Copies of this chain bind each other. A is one copy, B any other.
Amino acid sequence: MTDLYPSRREAAPRILPRLDPVVHSSWDERAPITRAQAEQFDRDGYLVLDNVFSAEEVAALQTSAAKLLADPAALEDETVITEPGGREVRSIFKIHQQSGTMARLAADDRLAGVARFLLGDDVYVHQSRLNYKPGFVGKEFYWHSDFETWHVEDGMPQMRALSMSILLAPNTVLNGPLMIIPGSHRKYLTCVGETPEDHYRSSLKKQEYGVPDEDSLAELAAEHGIVAPTGNAGTVIIFDCNAMHGSNGNITPFPRANAFIVYNAVSNRLVSPYGPEAPRPEFIAARKHVSVLQRPEVTLLEAAS
C-alpha cells in the first residue's frame, strides 16, 4: 500500500498536509447533529455533546465501569494497564468485549450514528477502553496524534476514524482533562525515531515513540491555542483521529473516569503496519475480529439490567 502519511523515518519532523476529509458526509436535515456542530467538528477537530445520556443511563454505565475496575483479575490479563510505577489501574482495554453494557454503549445510535455520519460509512470498534485517571496520583498523557500511532504501528491507512470519550465522572479543568489543539487535525506532524518491535506494552503506560517534537508542538499551540472541553458525567467528547491531544496529571482527590470508544470506517480497515513488521495485538487494534455495528435491539438500560 502507498504510505500517505509516512512517519518515524526521517531525522527531522515535518508538518504534512492532511489528504483526507474530516467530515465524510454532506450535511442535510437527516443528519444526527446540527449543521453548526458538523462545521465545528470540521474546523476544530472536536465536538462536545452535552448530557447525551440520562441520569439512569449514567448510573448504569458507572456501575458497569465499577464492576470492571473492582475485579481486574476477572479480565483478560493484558487488557489491564496500571499507572507507571504504581498499581492503580490506568486503563482497561476491550471493554466492549468484556462487558455487555459497554458493548451496548458502543452500538448506541447516539454514538455510532454520529460516527457513521461523520465518517460517511458503516463503522466498527477499532479500540475501546475505560480510562481511569485516579485522584492524587493520576499521571499525564503526553501530546500525541492517535492516527500517527494507529497508522505506523497498526496499519490504519487513512484518516477516517474518530474517538468518543463518554464522561463517567465530572471532567473539570483541574482533574487532568483532555486537552486538544483545535485545528491541529488538519496537519500531519511526523515523528522522529524508528519504532522498536513489541514496544506497545510500555507505550500504553508512557509513550516513547511517536512522540511529537517540542518545537512543532509549540508552533501548533501558538497558532491554534489549547482547549480543554469539560463536562459532567453523561457528556460525550468526540475528536478526530488526527487531533493533537494530551492531558495533565491529576493531584486532586477527584478521579476522572471515561469510557473511550474508537470508531473506524469499514472502508478504512487495517492493513499491514507501515512501521514495525509485527502488528500490535487485537485488544489494542481490531484487525481480525471486526464486526460492523448494527443498530441495537434493546435499550441501554435493558442491556445493563
Which one of A24-32, A250-258, A264-272 is at the B interface? A250-258
* Other-chain residue from B226, B248, B252 in contact with A226 (beta carbon distance below 8 A): B252
Complex interface: chain B residues within 8 A of A173 (CB): 173-174, 228
A217 at the interface (CB under 8 A from B): yes
Number of chain copies forming the complex: 2
Establish whether residues A248 and B246, one from each chain, have CB atoms under 8 Å apart when the complex forms.
no
Complex interface: chain B residues within 8 A of A218 (CB): 135, 253
What's the nearest-Cβ distance from chain B to residue A218, in Å? Answer: 4
Complex interface: chain B residues within 8 A of A222 (CB): 253
A209 at the interface (CB under 8 A from B): no
Interface of chain A residues 226 through 269 with chain B (CB within 8 A): 226, 228, 246-254
| A176, A179, A228, A253, most chain B CB atoms within 10 A | A253
A57 at the interface (CB under 8 A from B): no
A221 at the interface (CB under 8 A from B): yes
Which one of A104-112, A136-144, A147-155, A189-197 is at the B interface? A136-144
* Other-chain residue from B221, B251, B253 in contact with A140 (beta carbon distance below 8 A): B251
Establish whether residues B248 and A249, one from each chain, have CB atoms under 8 Å apart when the complex forms.
yes
In the complex the two chains form, what is the Cα distance from A176 to B221 in whole Å? Answer: 16
Nearest CB in chain B to that of A218: its residue: B253
In the complex the two chains form, what is the Cα distance from A179 to B217 in whole Å? Answer: 26
Nearest CB in chain B to that of A222: its residue: B253
A77 at the interface (CB under 8 A from B): no
> When each residue 145-182 of chain A gets 1 if its CB lies under 8 Å from chain B and 0 otherwise, what string results?
00000000000000000000000000001101001000
Interface of chain A residues 1 through 16 with chain B (CB within 8 A): none
A297 at the interface (CB under 8 A from B): no
Known contacts: A174-B173, A174-B228, A228-B174. The answer to whether A140 contacts B249 by CB under 8 A is yes
- 25 CB contacts below 8 A, A to B, read A135-B214, A135-B218, A136-B217, A140-B249, A140-B251, A143-B251, A173-B173, A173-B174, A174-B228, A174-B248, A176-B248, A179-B251, A179-B252, A217-B253, A218-B253, A221-B252, A222-B253, A226-B252, A246-B251, A247-B251, A248-B248, A248-B249, A248-B250, A248-B252, A249-B249
Known contacts A135-B218, A140-B249, A140-B251; 14 additional CB pairs below 8 A are A173-B174, A176-B248, A179-B251, A179-B252, A214-B253, A217-B253, A218-B253, A221-B252, A221-B253, A221-B254, A222-B253, A246-B251, A248-B252, A249-B249
List the interface of chain A (C-beta within 8 A of B).
135-136, 140, 142-143, 173-174, 176, 179, 214, 217-218, 221-222, 226, 228, 246-254
